Structure 1
């Protein structure tokens, strides 16, 4: 009887020891460093089964054995809480870390930056070419309806939804800036402000020049002078659908089109691009100047003039620089 008890006790001790060893091994697999040797991003598609997730992670080198991942996910109950999306895995991430990350839903946040002055057609083309977005855009928004800035999105987000965010951002920005506009502006509505801002945006890429360029156009409108802006002629010829691809000619300035500000009085019927916040702000609060003209100065900026004679001298100087006759 004693011998039977000793044998039984020995078996129990052995089983407990084996269970302890098994637990340590399992814990080592669960919490030990994984095989990933460099940072890697992996997309988990919507509707993926636990097995499919395991295979995708193994193919990416994040885990070493899909069966161990599957077993760990089931044992911890996390298999029911794994979330789709794009995840960034750090080198050596443990099995536990992988499961906790997939459970958290902390996906990679991507950035989509819209430069100021693009047309709506160009912005839609950028969206169509952006990796990670889903869905199609059925209709190009009106010119001037989108706010250029940086937008964040996650893998699988809808393109049309991101486009709507741009429209909402423009509406909200325009509403705030319109409320604090200065008095005496020659624009009667927020929409006209966007139209003038789009011209300012296309005329200069220098941030500090926007309020000064805006002052020139405001002065001309208040004086009853035509805007005579080359970017409006380009838009008259292309409607923003493609680059002109050549320099403007004198014949282009004679084109009869409601967007050609060499031929029409006042503002064109709508924006020629999507202006940024700074350009809109410049139009609604321009510098106080007595300039009526400007031309490129050869350095990337512009030379401003009060009189036509002064402007003509600036134009002659620009032509000498352009033709390589001056510094």
Structure 2
């Protein structure tokens, strides 16, 4: 009888330990807030467990490893930076490690962002390392780029520039007979102006058509952004353009000279590059704002003058003039 009692107590204790072990696998962990942890490439599960215990994500590396061996399967863990949620269980932690659900850090380059402002974003991006110079204007493809903690800014910048090279190589062979650009470099220059002249994606082919027509007949582009760029290198001007600046012959100002500027004035997106390579089939030579965020186009100067008067009337009604 005594022996049976002892065996019963041992069996009961074993059941309690087993239940504790099983429940502990999915029980809330000790961390009270989301915790990022960088798992280096080639790390073993044991090494990762030590890191996780030190970071406070799990309470015991030994218990985690034992539970992982019993419940976790044989899938290998992934490298990268993980952000473990507050009170993540051992089951959740191992699942994240095995599924490679790494923390996504992003640096975003909007369409038409000048390189000086791209540089600002790269330098402010948290957890990147090293420094980079201001990249060549027009060399970066606008997009969102992911990076990992500790990665160099030079590596991220290289990906941005490789993306532009790839996009341009893909788009260039599809250019139409209406395109006036003779080289990929010229395509970037004209696309950067198109990008800065309209905020409406649907207008890009038409804006490109107007500028292509002007280039074709030797007419000046008269694009305000080309006046501003050599003054600020892409930063906001913060005031009205001066008459002397409209007359400055500096290689960029398209009020002072016909043809394309000597270089791009921003980093154009794929759609603006595509618009320059396949501009709208139009005879329009002029455009002016229409009061809705878009533009109205004209084939003749007389028609354009009438459109300008309408735009001025809209501005006066708004109290802007």
Question: Under a length normalisation based on structure 1, what TM-score does the superposition of the two structures give?
Answer: 0.83
- 1:213-255 Cα shifts (integer Å, max 9, x gaps): 1001000011111111110000121222x21111213222111
Q: Aligned-pair distance for 1:141?
A: 1.6
- 1:121-179 Cα shifts (integer Å, max 9, x gaps): 11121222234x41133222211111112233344443322221111111111111110
- Which residue of structure 2 lines up, in the alignment, with residue 188 of structure 1? 182
Structure 2: distance between partners of 1:127 and 1:326? 39
- Which residue of structure 2 lines up, in the alignment, with residue 3 of structure 1? none
- Which residue of structure 1 lines up, in the alignment, with residue 23 of structure 2? 28
* Structure 2 residue 252 is matched with structure 1 residue 268: no
SS, match of residue 97 in structure 1: helix
Q: Aligned-pair distance for 1:311?
A: 1.7
Aligned in 2, Cα 1:271/1:82: closer, same or farther, shift over 3 Å?
A: closer
Aligned in 2, Cα 1:83/1:199: closer, same or farther, shift over 3 Å?
A: closer
Aligned in 2, Cα 1:183/1:54: closer, same or farther, shift over 3 Å?
A: same
Structure 2: distance between partners of 1:325 and 1:51? 65
Structure 1: distance between partners of 2:92 and 2:241? 60
- Which residue of structure 2 lines up, in the alignment, with residue 71 of structure 1? 62
Structure 1: distance between partners of 2:319 and 2:273? 35
SS, match of residue 298 in structure 1: coil
Structure 2: distance between partners of 1:138 and 1:159? 6
Q: Is the 8 A contact 1:46 1:84 kept in 2?
A: yes
Name the larger-Rg structure: 1
Structure 1: distance between partners of 2:78 and 2:180? 57
Identify unmatched segments of 5+ residues in structure 2.
41-46, 70-75
Cα RMSD of the aligned pairs, angstroms, is: 2.8
Structure 1: distance between partners of 2:318 and 2:119? 42
Structure 2: distance between partners of 1:20 and 1:33? 21
Structure 1: distance between partners of 2:291 and 2:246? 22
Q: Is the 8 A contact 2:80 2:148 kept in 1?
A: no
Structure 1: distance between partners of 2:219 and 2:78? 65
Structure 2: distance between partners of 1:88 and 1:211? 46
Q: Is the 8 A contact 1:220 1:226 kept in 2?
A: yes
Structure 1: distance between partners of 2:143 and 2:80? 27
Question: Under a length normalisation based on structure 2, what TM-score does the superposition of the two structures give?
Answer: 0.85
- Which residue of structure 1 lines up, in the alignment, with residue 73 of structure 2? none
Q: Aligned-pair distance for 1:36?
A: 7.4
